Amino acid sequence: MRASFLAGAGSLACLALVCCLAESAAPAAPVVPEPAGYWMGPTHGPVATSLTGGTVIHTRRLAALLKTGAVMVVDVSEAPRRPANLAADAVWLPLPHPVIPGAVWIPGAGLGAISPTVERLFRERLAQGTGNDPTHRLVIYCHRNCWLSWNAAKRGISYGYTNVYWFPDGMEGWRAAGLSTANAEPLLP
């Protein structure tokens, strides 16, 4: 036990060192292959550059696509949850959540292991937003370097949607391009 604790502390020290090094020279993004199933690892980190069965889309093309008409946009970012045991006088002030205008926000839809209630909600909202048309264009995003949207897009493809776009630039890329946003509330089961 003692040894593992010390080993843990050692690796943390290494991490801190890497952080310092990262300041001077940003390392090149590692190439991450697509996992066979859903991504079960940490949510945030380097992501794959492709999505089998779907299309990777970046900011400028997405902005153009959204001008062409019927596109359903889904944000699958997490929503902050106030812990029940947070001190009563603690400052709890989640930021307003900006989305691509018109997007629906479904937290939890991109987890590697999705809960049945969220999955039902996700399926229903996709059916509703696409008018039950599997060829309807569907854009899924969360943040830059976030696997939730990759998983959710893959899930959408598994439901039979044939025009699924994954937008890996996420809200950071969208805002960086100066494009407008709207605030949204999360859809929760």
Partner 1 sequence: MGVTRTCLLALVMSTLGVLGQSRAAPADDSEAIMHAHAAQDAAERVARWKDLQHAIFGTRALKDGAGVIQIEAPEHALDAALVPITLTMKSATPIKGLYLVIDNNPSPVASHFTFGPRADPRSLKLRVRVNQYTFIHAVAETADGGLFVSQQFVKTSGGCSAPVGADNAQALKDMGLMKLHLLGTFTPGKPLQAQLMIRHPNFNGMQMDQITRNYTPARFIRTIDATYDGSAVFHLDSDISLSTDPVITFGFVPDKQGTMQLVVRDSDNALFNHSFDVPAG
Of 11-19, 67-75, 120-128, 129-137: span binding partner 1 (CB under 8 A): 11-19
Of 3-11, 65-73, 125-133: span binding partner 1 (CB under 8 A): 3-11
With residue 3 as reference, give the H or E element that holds it.
helix 2-24
Judge whether 43 and 146 are in contact, CB under 8 Å: yes
Contact characters 68-107, partner 1, x per CB under 8 A: ----------x-xxxxxxxx--xxxxxx------------
Question: Hey, what are 112's tokens?
Answer: 């590697």
Of 66-74, 124-132, 133-141, 154-162: span binding partner 1 (CB under 8 A): 154-162
Q: Nearer Cβ to partner 1, position 103 or 174?
A: 174
28 binds partner 1 (CB under 8 A): no
Judge whether 141 and 149 are in contact, CB under 8 Å: yes
49 binds partner 1 (CB under 8 A): yes
Check residue 178 and report its DSSP letter.
T
The amino acid at 115: S
DSSP β-ladder status, 104-105 and 182-183: unpaired
156 binds partner 1 (CB under 8 A): no
- Pick the closest to residue 48 from 35, 32, 37 (CA basis): 32
187 binds partner 1 (CB under 8 A): no
Q: Which of 143, 151, 155, 187 binds partner 1 (CB under 8 A)?
A: 143
- Which residues of 106-152 form beta strands (DSSP E)? 137-141
Cβ neighbour number for residue 98 with a 10 Å cutoff: 17
Of 65-73, 124-132, 138-146: span binding partner 1 (CB under 8 A): 138-146
Q: Nearer Cβ to partner 1, position 74 or 148?
A: 148
